[in-house]
């Protein structure tokens, strides 16, 4: 059975002054995929991610999400279907854990019960008694988990994650990787996950995209990309996997 496509970039371009952040970028993401995006700094990963929730619109070409062109759609409604997790969690520092998680449901005038918040915390392996704590008192790894729980509270169809585990140590990172894999299985959301860490990308992704200078270098299953790097850039990149 051919899986449905949920996100389509069609020759999308974005320029800053005279430099392309995204160049003739055509790419499709299947519904329910766990896409991991890797590539060097400045390669256009964050630009690509922000085009999915319409924080950026292409200068030319188009981006369609669920069949709707982001340049001609209600972006507020679009963003309600999309969770966005950034490095550090991007939490509201003056609110406690419960208030942070309830923030988007409250905007949508939806009630979210303490039990549901407890379930969300459980999904990211945090104890329910953390709920009333001020987020500024939490460790980096804990804040990151709350950021993921907050994104999940809106039951997103699409979860965008921009280097979410970049600032956490090895053990916490492993736990968070396990948690997100579990969340993907449970929620069936489409995940687009940007990382600098190729090992993480290979471990988590059902599909990998390597980007450089705003363009697609290679895409495929982790095995495929690993075994058949396409050109010098991909080959250099894949070499990272060999060194422990």
Span 5-34, contacts to ligand ATP by CB under 6 A: 16, 19, 21
Each residue 194-223 as x (binds ligand ATP by CB under 6 A) or -, in order, gives ------------------------------
Binding site partner of 164, from ligand ATP, Mg ion, none, Cβ cut-off 5-8 A by kind: none
Measured from the CB atom, the residue of 46 and 212 that comes closer to Mg ion is: 46
Q: Which stretch binds Mg ion (CB under 5 A): 4-12, 39-47, 50-58, 116-124?
A: 39-47
> Binding to Mg ion (CB under 5 A): which residues in 210-239?
none
Cβ-based burial of 159 (10 A; exposed 0-12, middle 13-18, buried ≥19): buried
User: Which one, 117 or 191, has the nearer CB to Mg ion?
Assistant: 191
Which value, to the nearest 10 degrees, does the dihedral of the CA atoms of residues 165, 169, 170, 173 take?
-30
Minimum gap (Å) between residue 160 Cβ and ligand ATP:
12
How many CB atoms lie under 10 A from the CB of residue 67?
10
**Among the residue ranges 20-28, 42-50, 138-146, 211-219, the one whose residues contact Mg ion (CB under 5 A):** 42-50
- Rounded distance, CA 128 to CA 120, Å? 9
Asked whether the beta carbons of 49 and 158 are under 8 A apart, the reply is: no
Rounded Cα distance, 226 and 244, in Å: 16
Stretch that binds Mg ion, among 44-52, 61-69, 195-203, 210-218 (CB under 5 A): 44-52
Nearer to Mg ion, 39 or 54 (CB): 39
Q: Build a one-symbol-per-residue string for 36-65: x at contacts with ligand ATP by CB under 6 A, - elsewhere.
A: ---x-xxxxxxx------------------
Q: Backbone phi, then psi, for 134, in 5-degree steps? A: -75, 135
Which is closer to ligand ATP, CB of 121 or CB of 209? 209
Does position 46 interact with Mg ion (CB under 5 A)? The reply is: yes
For residue 184, the partner it binds in ligand ATP, Mg ion, none, with Cβ less than 5 to 8 A by kind, is none
- Alpha helix (H) ranges present in the chain? 45-52, 75-80, 97-107, 114-123, 140-153, 170-187, 198-204, 222-227, 231-238
Among candidate residues 33, 35, 26, the one with its CA nearest the CA of residue 225: 35
Q: Residue 21: enclosing H or E segment and its boundaries?
A: strand 19-30
DSSP 3-state assignment of 91? coil
Residues 6+ apart with CB under 8 A from 172: 141, 144, 165
CB 183 to Mg ion: min, Å: 22
Q: Which stretch binds Mg ion (CB under 5 A): 45-53, 63-71, 169-177, 226-234?
A: 45-53
Helix axes of 140-153 and 97-107: crossing angle, nearest 10 degrees: 20
| Contacting positions for Mg ion (CB under 5 A) | 45-46
| Contacting positions for ligand ATP (CB under 6 A) | 16, 19, 21, 39, 41-47
């Amino acid at each position: 059975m051919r899986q449905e496509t949920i996100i389509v970039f069609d020759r999308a371009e974005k320029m800053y002054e005279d430099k392309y952040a995204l160049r003739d970028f055509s790419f499709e993401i299947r519904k329910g995929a766990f896409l991991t995006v890797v590539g060097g700094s400045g390669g256009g990963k964050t630009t690509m991610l922000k085009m999915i929730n319409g924080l950026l619109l292409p200068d030319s070409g188009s981006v369609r999400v669920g069949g709707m062109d982001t340049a001609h759609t209600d972006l507020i409604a679009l963003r309600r279907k999309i969770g966005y997790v950034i490095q550090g969690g991007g939490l509201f520092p003056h609110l406690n854990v419960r208030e942070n998680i309830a923030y988007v449901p409250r905007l949508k005038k939806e009630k979210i019960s303490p039990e549901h918040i407890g379930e969300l915390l459980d999904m990211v392996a945090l104890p329910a008694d953390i709920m009333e704590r001020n987020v500024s008192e939490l460790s980096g790894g804990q804040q990151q988990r709350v950021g993921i729980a907050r994104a999940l509270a809106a039951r997103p169809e699409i979860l965008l994650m921009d280097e979410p585990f970049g600032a956490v140590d090895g053990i916490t990172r492993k736990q968070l990787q396990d948690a997100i894999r579990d969340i993907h299985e449970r929620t069936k959301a489409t995940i687009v996950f940007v990382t600098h860490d190729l090992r993480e990308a290979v471990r988590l992704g059902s599909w990998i995209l390597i980007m450089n200078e705003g363009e697609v270098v290679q895409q495929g299953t982790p095995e495929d990309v690993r075994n058949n790097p396409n050109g010098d850039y991909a080959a250099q990149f894949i070499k990272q996997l060999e060194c422990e």
